Structure 1
Amino acid sequence: MLGAQRKDHLREILRRDGRVVAKDVALDLGVSEDSIRRDLRELADAGEMVRVYGGALPVPPADRPVDQRSSLATDSKERVARRAVDLIAPGSTIVLDAGTTTLAMARMLPRGAELTVITPSPAIALAVAEHSDARIVMIGGELARFSMVASGPLAMEAVQHLAADLFFLGVTGIDPARGLTTGHLDDAVTKRAIAARCTRTFVLGSEEKIGATSQYPVLDLDSVAGVVVDPRDANPVIEELAGRVSVLR
C-alpha cells in the first residue's frame, strides 16, 4: 500500500473510531509501526490529527485551523472581547495575539483613545486599521498558514525589541491543572516571549476553551493577571480557575 493510501486509511479510522492505534493499524496492513508512526507524524504536522503515545486522536475544536475556528462559540467570543476591551486605558500600548476573540476585540477598539496596537496577525492589523484610529505595529516573520500568524526566528527577534502595557493572550486550552496550552510549539514559544515583554497579560477564555487542554504549555496560571471569561458561561471549571487566578466576567 502506498503512503497516500495509508494516510487515507488512517483518516478513515480516525473518523470512524475516534482514535488511531499505530500497533493495530500496522498489524492490519502488514507494514512496520515505524511507517505508521511516520504517516501519523506527517498528518499531525498538517493539522489533521493530534499525535499521542501509541497513535493519534482528533484535533480538538479549539486547535483547528483559524478559518474553521471562526464559527465556534461566536457569541461567547463577542462577550469576552467586549469585557477585555473595557480593560484598556486611553493611551495604552497593547498586544493583540492572533485568534478569533482578539479579532473581535480589534473591531471594538474605540476611536480617539490614542492606542498603539502590536500584533503578529495580519488579519487583526487590518481589522484595527478599519475600525479604529490606533497606531499599528506588526510583528514580522514567517506566516504560519495553520494559524495565520507571524512566527519563527524573525518574529522572535522582533519581540525582543517590544514593550507593552497589556497582552491579550489567545490560547486553545485553559485548565486549572495544566494551565494555558496551545496546539503548536512555535506558537507557544512566541506567546511566552511576548508575555515576557508586557506589564500584564490577560487570557481570553471563551466557552470552548474553559477546561480544554492542548499539547504545548504556554504559561502557568500564576503568570497572568487574569482570565477574561464569558459572563454567561456556567462551566464549573471557572470556579476552580478562580481559586488560582483572577477571573473577570
Structure 2
Amino acid sequence: MRQVGVWRSLWLRKSKYPQDTVYSMMHLLGVEIEVDYNRSREDLIAEVVRKTSTSFPSWLDIMEHGAPRELRQRLFPTIPTLDVQQTPIFTLEKQPVPVEEYILTQTYMKIFNIKILIPAAASSDNSDLVCTEIFEIQNNRANEPLVVNGYGEACHWNLSNADSTHVMLMGAEDFIIPTNAFIQHLAAYEIKKSKSGAWECFPGHGGVPKEFVGKTRRSHMRIGGSPGSKITECDCADGG
C-alpha cells in the first residue's frame, strides 16, 4: 500500500521546483536518480515509471476511473499541471479542477495480476506491453454483456463502453481503512481497437469473480502505439 500512496501523493505535491516533487519521493519507491534540474518533472516521472513498472506498477492505481485521460491509448494517467507552490490541477473545458478531486481514497490495489513488461515511457512507439488474462466480451440471448474465460465459464459484465470487445485483468483491491465489507471481485479494464487500429483501454467499475480467474491462458498485448497489435497467448505463469 505504501507504493500506491507514494504515487498518489506525487500527483498532489507542490514545490518551488517541480523536479523536487520527484526527488523527494523517489527513494520511497526504491529508485535513485541523479539530481539534475535541467530535466523536466515529466522526464523524471517517466524514469521512475521505467524503473518500477516490472516489479509493482503502482502508478496504475492513482486516479478515479472517471479522471481525465488525454490519451486512452496508454495506461499511464494524465500528469497534472503544476505552477510554483500552487495546487496541482487538470484543465477541463478551459476550467481548472483540483487534482485531489480525482485521487483514489477508499481503496488500493494490493495485488497486480497485470504485468507491465515494457511501459510506454521505455517503448519506441509509446505503447505499454502488458501480460495478463484477457476475456472476450459476448452477449447472451437476452443481449446482456458477459465475459468468458478459458474454461467457457461466463459472468455478467457492466459494460461502460459500447464498443469494447475484451476485458483485461488488473488485480485485487482492498480497502485502505479496514471494514467488515469485502471486495468480492478483481478489478478489470475494458479494451477495444481504436479507429487507427491500436488498442485503447477504458477503466471502469467492472470486476470479475475471484473464482473466475486462473482459468485463462495469459496473453501479451500492446496498449496504444502502432496499429495492428494482436492479443497473443503466452507461456508466462505470472507475467514474467
| TM-score of the pair, normalised by structure 2 | 0.26
Richer in strand (by share): 2
| Bigger radius of gyration | 1
| TM-score of the pair, normalised by structure 1 | 0.25
